Amino acid sequence: MEILKVVTGVLEENCYVVKNNNSCLVVDPGDDYEKIKEVIGDYKVLGVLITHSHFDHIGALRNFLKKRNVKIFKKSNLEEKEYSVGDFKFNVIYTPGHSKDSVTFYFKDDKIMFVGDFIFKGSIGRCDLPGGNVNEMNQSILKIKKYPEDTKLYCGHYSDTILKEEIDNNPYF
C-alpha cells in the first residue's frame, strides 16, 4: 500500500490518496480536485473516506459524487466495524470531539490511522467550533490510546506522527 499526501486549499488540508494494486481510496478530498486527480493518475477510485465534514476536508467531494461506483464513507452511513473495499480493509472508529461526525479510519494490517483533525502532532483539533466537545474529545483520546503504539497517524493538517509519540509527548494525552 502506498500513501500519497496532497496538501490543498488555503488551510493547507492534507488529502491522502491510498494506492494498492490498480485502485485507490481518497481520504478527505480538500478543495483542489485537479491536484488530487493528478496524484490519482490512472488508478481506479473505489471510495472516498471522510474523517469529518468541515469545508476544508470535503471541498472536492462533489467531484467524486459525480462518479459512478465510488462509495462515500462518512459518519452518517458508517458503523463502528470493519469494511472491505476492493483490496482495502479498514475499521471505523467514532472519535468525536473536534466535531460530532469525526471518525478515524484504521488500517489494522498496515498499522495506520487517518485521524483528520482529531489528533495533530503534539496537539489535538479544536473543540470550540460548532459540534466540538472537550468531554467527547477526552473519551476519544482514551479510546485511541488502546491501539498499538507503533500505529502511524495521518493527520488532517501538518505532519504525520506515531501514536506512541503522542502518548509520550502530547499534553492532551
Burial zone of 108 (CB within 10 Å; 0-12 exposed, 13-18 middle, 19+ buried): middle
Question: Over the stretch 25-83, which tens digit does the pLDDT of each residue have?
Answer: 999 999 999 999 999 999 999 999 999 999 999 999 999 988 777 999 999 999 999 99
Q: Where are the domains of the chain?
A: 2-169
Q: Which residues pair with 89 in a beta bridge?
A: 84
CB 93 within 8 A of CB 103: yes
**Beta pairing class for 119-120 and 112-116:** unpaired
Question: Over the stretch 100-155, which tens digit does the pLDDT of each residue have?
Answer: 999 999 999 999 999 999 999 999 999 999 999 999 999 999 999 999 999 999 99
Given this model, what pLDDT does residue 67 score? 78
Question: Over the stretch 156-171, which tens digit does the pLDDT of each residue have?
Answer: 999 999 999 999 999 9
| CB-based contacts of 28, cutoff 8 Å, min separation 6 | 13, 14, 15, 16, 49, 50, 51, 57, 58, 114, 116, 156
CB 94 within 8 A of CB 105: no
Q: Which residues pair with 103 in a beta bridge?
A: 94
Torsion, Cα of 3, 119, 150, 73 (10° steps): -50
| CB-based contacts of 19, cutoff 8 Å, min separation 6 | 1, 2, 3, 4, 43
Taking every pair of Cα atoms in the chain, the longest distance, rounded to a whole number of angstroms, is: 44
**Hey, what amino acid is at 126?**
R
Pick the CATH number of 2-169 from 3.40.50.10890, 3.30.1330.10, 3.60.15.10, 1.10.10.10: 3.60.15.10
**Which helix (H) or strand (E) segment is 137 a member of?**
helix 134-144
